[in-house]
Amino acid sequence: MTATDSGERALEDRFEAVVGADQRVEPRDWMPEAYRATLVRQIAQHAHSEIIGMQPEGNWLTRAPSLRRKAILLAKAQDEAGHGLYLYAAAETLGVDRAELTEKLIDGRQKYSSIFNYPTLTFADVGVIGWLVDGAAICNQVPLCRCSYGPYARAMVRICKEESFHQRQGYELLMTLMRGTEAQRAMVQDAVDRWWWPSLMMFGPPDGDSPNTERSMAWRIKRHTNDELRQRFVDMTVPQAQHLGVTLPDPALAWNEERGGWDFGEPDWSELKQVIKGNGPCNAERVERRRAAHEDGAWVREAALAHAEKKRRSAQ
Ligand SMILES: [Fe+2]
Ligand SMILES: [Fe+2]
């Protein structure tokens, strides 16, 4: 059946009504092509970030300072793999194929979060990533639990619970180091100095420079602007830094009584642009490792397909 103009109109009206009433759009429902394309791009980028995000911390798995720290870090990395899987599955409900998304990541046609292009130089980085990077991810992701697209919103509920564990393990690791030696405290401060600004950049460019925000908010994919989420993160994190006993590397940081929030300095947006363009400290290494893992795993995919084919034949 070809949709007539009035038929198309009715479908659009229904979509708008569902979104407007804060109900969920489901895979079988009609949706505007641009809505579908926006979600595919966002969910794929999110899934890629979970998978690539295992690399910076995975770097420390073989050198964790104790069995306990190793078990915790391993559990966290496995959680991130799980997040990637839920999210690729959510993307597939929009009619794309996971293999195709992986190809696009490896070819550089799709992005992942800029934060994972920075190196992890000491074990304190594991703690700071949990505290700041997972903390920023929580600020970004909690509102996504109310995203208008059902499969994405539902995936986010479980992901957020696990992210909250990640943040706590990071903070607990840092508290332990801060109770240690002078050298351990210096290691924490150094990691905070390196990760603070990249963490603020995780919320994306400033609102004036974020052309897609308005439409994503109208579709209720996004609930808050980049700058609102960044502010929320700073307000949440400053008291935690004080309790921990570290200094955030921003001389402009000051409590604003009038606004009831923290004023803070401007991140170096030219650095973010460079990292997004592929010129961050570890971009090439991250994608190369992902490509190698994908190629090394080819035999597993081939074996699974051969096994499925054999089962299909024997069932005939
Ligand atoms: Fe995650
Ligand atoms: Fe996480």
Q: What is this structure's pTM?
A: 0.94
Tell me how far the alpha carbon of residue 16 lies from the centroid of ligand 2, in angstroms: 33
Tell me how far the alpha carbon of residue 15 lies from the centroid of ligand 1, in angstroms: 30
Cβ atoms 202, 129 nearer than 8 A: no
| Tokens linked to 141 | 């992701």
**Type of residue found at 263:** D
Helices (H) and strands (E) in the chain, counts: 14, 2
Q: What is the spatial distance between Cα 12 and Cα 89, in angstroms, rounded to a whole number?
A: 26
Cβ atoms 130, 104 nearer than 8 A: no
Query: CA 241 from chain center: how many Å?
Result: 22
- Which-ligand-closest: CA of 166? 2
Orientation angle between helical segments 182-201 and 134-141, nearest 10 degrees: 30
The protein residues having their C-beta less than 5 angstroms from ligand 2 (an ion) are 134, 163, 166
| Tokens linked to 247 | 């200094």
**Type of residue found at 54:** M
Q: How many CB atoms lie within 10 A of CB 306?
A: 10
- Which-ligand-closest: CA of 163? 2
The residues that bridge with 25 in the sheet, in sequence order, are 149
Which residues of the chain have a pLDDT value below 50?
none
CB hemisphere CA count around 96 (13 angstroms): 22
Which pLDDT value is given to residue 2?
A: 56
